[in-house]
Amino acid sequence: MPSPPTYAAALRDAIADVTHGIAPQQLAAATEALIGRYRSVAPAGPPILDSADRVAAYAAYRMPATHAALSRVLGTVAETGLAPTSLLDLGGGTGAAAWAAAETFTSLRTITVLDQVEEALRLGRRLVESAPVEALRTARFERAAEGSWPQGSADLVTVSYVLSELTADQQGRLVADAMALGQAVAIVEPGTPDGYQRILKARNGIRDAGWQLLGPCPHDLECPLSAGDWCHFAARVNRSAEHRRIKGGELSYEDEKFGWVAGARPGVVAGQAISGRVLRHPLKRKGFVEFQVCRPDGTAGREVISRKQGERYRRARDAEWGDELP
């Protein structure tokens, strides 16, 4: 029997179904408008996804990349022992984080996506109709906005690619709301210098509340990166033919750059110490591998693992950007 499709493939198929019949020119024009908005760091005025065309374009253009980034983030969070049964996605739009969470955590039983744009929620509901697992097929997509979240709580709250659309005050309130509603939170932003600054502020909020950091940092000290540098990671995204067409791309893949931070209330997970976080693509040379890493002692810098180190060297050859240092 053929193996079941991956979540990424299932999501691509669902997106193709809901965008079928929309003229490629319409999708391309809406995508261009979205790209222009996302490249701006100013807070949004009216909602970005303000029409059916833009919502469909967002699904085709952004959902695969957002899903890939969240899959990497939540996969790392799962390594700490977190096993949520409920997910709340604030500002989740069409539900990319929900797909990533359902893929990562087989423990999930309930998923709720909250957003202020009904058109995005409507498309999200359509996408999950043929999802691979029941928790995703029965996910609730409900209308709500920053400052008016419904009562309730969840084991895990996600906030992805939302902070850039808010003012500084709104960003702080949203992070505080996420922490008030969840036992654990995961926050993801674009892997840009300004996205890094927003992640740093969220990280400070998590630390100041006495929560345990779940990643990516191997410590809870000040960020050691020097001025002009920023912490970010990458996820490989396979492009569909339609995705290449609406973005005008030629390659069959792209790398989604993102920054993130996650934390949990004290005692939610036992957690585990790691030897360091790989901050850039490793340089793999004959006889050694060179890493740029963030260390548990709060420093960052160069680490070299040579062939003389045997098994550690063999594991270093397989290590990638964003992994734990072998």
CATH of the domain at 75: 3.40.50.150
Looking at the domain assignment, is residue 233 inside a domain?
yes
If asked whether residues 240 and 305 sit together in one domain, one would say no
- Dist CA 291 CA 304 (whole Å): 6
If asked whether residues 112 and 254 sit together in one domain, one would say yes
If asked whether residues 219 and 255 sit together in one domain, one would say yes
If asked whether residues 301 and 257 sit together in one domain, one would say no
Q: For a pLDDT cut of 90, what percent of the chain falls above it?
A: 68
What six digits make up the tokens of 85?
């049964």
Looking at the domain assignment, is residue 184 inside a domain?
yes
- Dist CA 238 CA 13 (whole Å): 13
Helix (H), strand (E) counts: the chain: 11, 12
If asked whether residues 251 and 293 sit together in one domain, one would say no
Mean pLDDT of 312-322: 96
If asked whether residues 240 and 98 sit together in one domain, one would say yes
Mean pLDDT of 221-232: 91
Looking at the domain assignment, is residue 269 inside a domain?
no
pLDDT per residue over 244-282, tens digit each? 555 555 655 678 999 999 999 999 998 778 999 999 999
- Domain boundary (264, 287, 302) is at 264
- Domain boundary (224, 241, 264) is at 264
Task: Give the residue numbers spanning the domain of 311.
Answer: 277-318
Q: Can you give the pTM of this predicted structure?
A: 0.90
pLDDT per residue over 125-138, tens digit each? 999 998 999 999 99
Looking at the domain assignment, is residue 19 inside a domain?
yes
Asked, as a colleague might, if the bond just before 150 is cis with ω within 30 of 0, I would say no
If asked whether residues 241 and 290 sit together in one domain, one would say no
Looking at the domain assignment, is residue 281 inside a domain?
yes
Looking at the domain assignment, is residue 170 inside a domain?
yes
If asked whether residues 283 and 259 sit together in one domain, one would say no
What six digits make up the tokens of 183?
């036992």
If asked whether residues 259 and 287 sit together in one domain, one would say no
Q: 245-284 as b/e, with b when 16 or more CB fall inside 10 Å?
A: ebbeeeeeebebebbbbbbbeeebbebeebebbbbeebee
Looking at the domain assignment, is residue 324 inside a domain?
no
If asked whether residues 310 and 221 sit together in one domain, one would say no
Q: How many domains does the chain have?
A: 2
If asked whether residues 164 and 301 sit together in one domain, one would say no
pLDDT attached to residue 28: 67
Looking at the domain assignment, is residue 270 inside a domain?
no
